[in-house]
Structure 1
Amino acid sequence: MAADEPLAETLVLIISELVTNAVVHTGSPAVLSIRLPECSGACPGTVRVEVTDSSARPPRPRHADGEETNGRGLELVEGLADRWGWQQESGGKQIWCELDHCVAGVEAVPSGEAVAFPA
């Protein structure tokens, strides 16, 4: 069974925006975690993306005007994700978002475990 391409494309865009924001606004590396639903085949579930950075400053959503090339990251995340938010972490913060879909064709991750990728 093929992966859910629209979901995969949405995840790539969201991950790119969140990691880019973290690196640009902190000047430091970020940590990316993706939690996949435990499923077999196509099923409902929630994909959770978490990006942790070294800044305790809250995220500031902006609304870019016209031809501006910056200021669209969190606006895109808000428009594409079913939910998003942030929380303080020791030494920084974590920005997260959730998409209510299952990634078909991806090996299930045991519930509660995260797949982490250094950014």
Structure 2
Amino acid sequence: MQLEIRPDPAEVGRARRWARSRLAGAGIRDDEPLAETLVLLVSELVTNAVVHTGRPAVLRLCLPGKKPEAAEDATVRLEVADASGRAPVFRCADGDATGGRGLALVDGLADRWGWSRDETGKRIWCELDRCAKNEESGAGRAAAAEFEGLTAYEVV
């Protein structure tokens, strides 16, 4: 599943709505911690692509099927591809800054994340494991609560 994103900040809200509808279609409830976390990650990565590249991007989601036995321990993958080949750049955000923490949130909330160059630019991806252990632990929510002390990265 993919959604083409225009280089317009209003696209971030559209991307969140699209992700919520895809999650619902995969049987992932809106109030599940996985859904809340994934929508936040969509928001951060699409915002980075729109704000820092000024170019169109593509949002992709790989979701588990609807069968409960297949979906319970599945991995959800989110990917944003843009036409800028520039690497994520280290950025320190002080306590009063209104931005600059996006990838620190991704790092704290995702089970895995990374980026790579491709023939048209780059892809930034992250994965969330959908298993009861991770949902009950609240590790991602605890990391989000503590993100102010983390070093932030900016995607340009």
So what's the TM-score if we normalise by structure 1? 0.78
1:7 aligns to 2:34 (yes or no): yes
Question: How far is 1:2 from its partner?
Answer: 6.5
Query: Which residue identity is paired with 1:62?
Result: R
Q: Report the Cα distance in structure 1 between the residues aligned to 2:89 and 2:119, rounded to whole angstroms.
A: 20
Question: How far is 1:61 from its partner?
Answer: 4.3
1:83 aligns to 2:112 (yes or no): yes
Match of 2:82 among 38, 44, 53: 53
Match of 1:30 among 52, 57, 76: 57
Question: How far is 1:39 from its partner?
Answer: 5.1
Change (3 A) 1:89 1:2: closer
Query: Which residue identity is paired with 1:22?
Result: A
Given that residues 22 and 30 in structure 1 are in contact (C-alpha distance below 8 angstroms), is that contact kept between their aligned partners in structure 2?
yes
Given that residues 61 and 71 in structure 1 are in contact (C-alpha distance below 8 angstroms), is that contact kept between their aligned partners in structure 2?
no
Residues 10-52 of structure 1, C-alpha deviations (whole Å, 9 max, x = no match):
1111000000101111101210000012351251010000000
Query: Structure 2 unaligned runs (5+)?
Result: 1-26, 132-156
Given that residues 78 and 127 in structure 2 are in contact (C-alpha distance below 8 angstroms), is that contact kept between their aligned partners in structure 1?
yes
Runs (4+) of structure 1 exceeding 4 A deviation are: none
Name the residue aligned to 2:130.
Answer: 101
Change (3 A) 1:54 1:2: closer
Higher helix share: 2
Given that residues 34 and 50 in structure 1 are in contact (C-alpha distance below 8 angstroms), is that contact kept between their aligned partners in structure 2?
yes
Question: How far is 1:70 from its partner?
Answer: 1.1
Question: How far is 1:59 from its partner?
Answer: 1.1
Query: Structure 1 unaligned runs (5+)?
Result: 103-119
Query: Which residue identity is paired with 1:21?
Result: N
Paired positions, count: 102
Q: Which has the higher contact order (CA 8 A, sep 6+)?
A: 1
